[in-house]
Every structure is written in C-alpha cells, then in structure tokens.
Amino acid sequence: MIRVGIAGIGFMGMIHYLAYQRVRGAKVQAICEKIPERLAGDWRSIKGNFGPRGQIMDLTGISKYSELDDLLADPKVDLVDVCLPPWQHAQVSIAALKAGKHVFCEKPIALKTSHADRMVKAAQQAGRLLMIGQVLPFFAAYRFALKTIQTEKYGRLLGGNFVRIISDPQWLKDFYDPDGCGGPMVDLHIHDAHFIRLICGMPRAVHSVGRVRGEVLGFCNTQFLYDDPSLVVTATSGVIDQQGRPFTNGYEIHLERATLVFDSWMGQPVTVLTDDGRVRHPKLAAGDEIDAFAEEIKEVVRSVRTQTPSSLLDGQLARDALVLAHKQTQSVIQRRTVRI
C-alpha cells in the first residue's frame, strides 16, 4: 500500500483526494493545510471549473498537519502529493525528495525552467521518483489518440492542430501573475505543450503570434517547427473575454491513413476519418472527470510500486513542456521565430 500525504487542500488537492478513493494500492495517510477549517474537513469553500463542489469530509484516521515539515517527517508517508500553488512547487518538491519521499506534483512542474531543472536533479540525487500531474493523456479522448499514434494503426504521425480556450477565469485572482499561476501559457496551454512533446518530440523552434496581457500571453497561435518538413503541428491556446465561452479543448490529428477529430465545445466526439472514406466513432470508456485523475494516480502507484519512472508523468518531459511555453512567449514578444 502506497501511503500518501497531500500538501495543499485547495481545488486540486480535493480532486486528488477524491481520485485516491477510486484507486487500489494507495491511501491518503496525511494532509497538510494552513486553513484550519479545511484541515478539520470543512471543504465547502472549495470550488473549481469542473467536478463537485467541496463538502464536509470525514477525515477520520488521517494525520493532519499545518506545517509542511511535520508532513515530511511522518515516517508513514511514502509519497508527497503536491497540490500547492505553482510558485511553491519547486521548493516543496525538492524538500520532499530530500526527506526521502517520492513526489507527485501537480502541473506545471514549476514557473521557471531553472526551478524545474533543480527538481529533476534533486530526484536523481535522492534516488526518488518525481512525477508531474500532466493529466491530459489520461482523459479518454487523448488516451485514445495517444494509443492510436503509438500503435501506428493508421501509419505514422503527420502532425495536427490542438485547441485549448477558456473565458477569463475571474475566480483565479493570480491567473495572469507570472509569479502566481503563471498565465495562460503555463497554466492552460502546458497541457497541449506536454502532449505535443509526448507524441512529436521536441521541436527545433517555435513561431508564435498572440496577444499580451500584462507580463504574460493572453492568447497565442503557434507553429511548432521540426526537422521533418512533413510534421506540421500547430496549437491555439488562451483566454477570450466573452464569459459565455465554456472551457474548450480539442484536436485534429493527421496520420498517414486517418485523421482523428475531437472538439469538446462543438460536441464533436472522438471521430476517426479513414482513407477509404469511412467515418468511425470509437466507443470510449464512460466516466466523469475525476476518473482521469484516478487513472493518472494508478500510473503513480505503478511507478512507485515497481520503482520505475513513468513515461507519461516524467519530470524531464514536464520540464520540456514548460520550456515550450516560455519559448512561445518569447516568440510573441520578440516577434520572431525562436529556437529551442
């Protein structure tokens, strides 16, 4: 049994807690939280853009700490699940690794590439696993795309377009703070940057155009440039000011003998268009959004149990996604193609 200590009971901390209840082989042993009401189990003030609202939770049998050092000193905790604001990810993860704990940290890995590099190095030095909660490959639509690409059922990957757009998240006060949430590229687009890096590898350069909001990008279109001229990859990500726009994500992925299409806002289910003119709608596993986080945690449990890094949650991969987000920002501000 993998015993987990969750650091931070906000929205993502709550989602992770609920996901652990659906996973065999792991249990929440401890929580660490500064807000006394939440530490006592009153989570009614917690809300987010998906999933249930917080409620009164029965935390019987769970150790409760208000100080991180006390959580890290708990010998019954094998894995620290970091669900704190992004600006705390590096400091807390490194401290947990040095304390001999494995670490599962929410995305983004960090706000600065140098901090991400320190996290990866700390895991190597400690001989512990660093896993980053880039959950997108565990959602059914993206899991299907990833498996289809990897099996080469329809030939090799030729590229695609990825979309992730939201209305202004006014409930996140530090969303546009480069030292807070990090802005739309680091907090939102990081999902697609990670998925693109996962399926296509690291591009040699990016060319982006977009709109700046304060010190960060608000909206961005990017061409990812590869040495292979047939690999054509683009992404559209960011925020629009019309509050009627629901959270939107989707893709059109081109393979040699098929195209995969998905659009959450337009109600387009995962669709396979094959080169013989057929249109297929694969049957995907039913479930709610928490199920994707449960699948992600199953991967965490597998990695810790077998002491092997995860190819999907790897810290270096998450670090590369952060690099892409920052290079895209640089490209927009400098109005030029930027090499990676």
The CATH code for residues 137-287+321-339 is 3.30.360.10
Numbered ranges of CATH 3.30.360.10 in the chain: 137-287+321-339
Pick from 66, 127, 61, 122: which is nearest to 91 by CA? 122
Predicted pLDDT at 49: 72
2-135+293-310: CATH class: alpha beta
Q: In 100-251, which ranges are continuous DSSP H helix?
A: 113-126, 140-151, 184, 190-200
Distance CA 119, CA 82 (A): 13
**With the CA atoms of 308, 311, 315 and 316 taken in that order, what torsion angle do they form, in degrees rounded to the nearest 10?**
120
pTM for the structure as a whole? 0.96
Pick from 162, 209, 165: which is nearest to 184 by CA? 165
Distance CA 115, CA 90 (A): 6
Numbered ranges of CATH 3.40.50.720 in the chain: 2-135+293-310
| pLDDT tens, residue order, the chain (340 aa) | 999 999 999 999 999 999 999 999 999 999 999 999 999 999 999 987 777 888 999 999 999 999 999 999 999 999 999 999 999 999 999 999 999 999 999 999 999 999 999 999 999 999 999 999 999 999 999 999 999 999 999 999 999 999 999 999 988 889 999 999 999 999 999 999 999 999 999 999 999 999 999 999 999 999 999 999 999 999 999 999 999 988 999 999 999 999 999 999 989 999 999 999 999 999 998 788 899 999 999 999 999 999 999 999 999 999 999 999 999 999 999 999 999 9
Backbone angles phi and psi of 72, in degrees to 5: -70, -25
For 154, the 3-state DSSP assignment is coil
- Per-residue CA distances from 87 to 14, 91, 92, 104 (Å): 19, 8, 10, 16
Distance CA 241, CA 141 (A): 27
Distance CA 109, CA 69 (A): 21
